Amino acid sequence: MASCGGEGGASDNPAASPSPATSPTPEAPDLTIFHNWAYPIAGACLPKSDNLMPNASRDYRGGTHEGVDFYAVDNCTAIEKNTPALAAKPGRIIRADHDYTDLTPEQLQRANDRIAAGDANAFEVLDLFRGRQVWIDHGKGIVTRYAHLEGIPEAIVVGVQVETGDVVGFVGDSGTPESISAPDTEIHLHWEFRVGDSYLGAGMPPEDVRALYESLFEPVPDNATFE
């Protein structure tokens, strides 16, 4: 940086004087935060049923659905047990449940007891029903969660950086009550888009939730303006 002259005074050389101070150019907003995501299942699309989208009620646990469910039907592609689940954007693995053990009847009963006592939305209860999971931190407060997984590649461990399309898990039914009562009948990927302490679209009406999630998987509009 050019000197402003001697200590305590201006330079005697006008040519050496700095330009008038200007405000720094504001950093351009990252318009890709809520655009340009890839589907977590190859060839998938959003389910047509709002019951498989965020904010749908979940009567079996007295709570609210916090993600998108990708089943074998209503999702534009075949999805079955061990279908690869893919990173939807680059990020860092912050959870990978390699040591997961299957849900037991005793655990399910304790969870149901807590639900009956009014703890349906307690983290431990929700986490139990999500089963085997992988979480990816994408920065800027965004984390994606992959739940009900059948398995996880050995290379997917905490701290590993993944790129869009990398296999981070395999579809299963872990954590579902049906994994005990009727195994392999609830095979699907539960995918959550977390923003800060909540999930994307929390409390919004179904049509607005759908529009918001549709925009995730679209390019940034050429005329987009963000204030």
Residue 153 within a domain: yes
Phi–psi pair at 193, nearest 5 degrees: -110, 105
Please, what is the end-to-end C-alpha distance for the chain in angstroms? 33
Mean pLDDT along residues 61-78: 87
- Residues 210 and 50 sit within 8 Å (Cβ to Cβ): yes
Model's pTM, two decimal places?
Answer: 0.83
CATH number for 201: 2.70.70.10
Burial class (CB in 10 A: 0-12, 13-18, 19+), 151: middle
pLDDT over 70 for what percent of the chain? 81
Mean pLDDT along residues 48-55: 90
- How many domains is the chain partitioned into structurally? 1
Residue 19 within a domain: no
Domain span including residue 124: 38-216
Residue 100 within a domain: yes
Q: How confident is the model at residue 220 (pLDDT cuts 50, 70, 90)?
A: confident
Which pLDDT belongs to residue 19?
Answer: 39
Residue 24 within a domain: no
pLDDT tens-digit series, residues 150-196: 999 999 999 999 999 999 999 999 999 999 999 999 999 999 999 99
Mean pLDDT along residues 22-34: 54
Which pLDDT belongs to residue 12?
Answer: 40
pLDDT at 122 exceeding the cut of 80: yes
Q: What angle do CA 162, 191, 142 make, to 5 degrees?
A: 60
Residue 226 within a domain: no
Indicate the residue type of 217: F
pLDDT at 57 exceeding the cut of 70: no
Residue 49 within a domain: yes
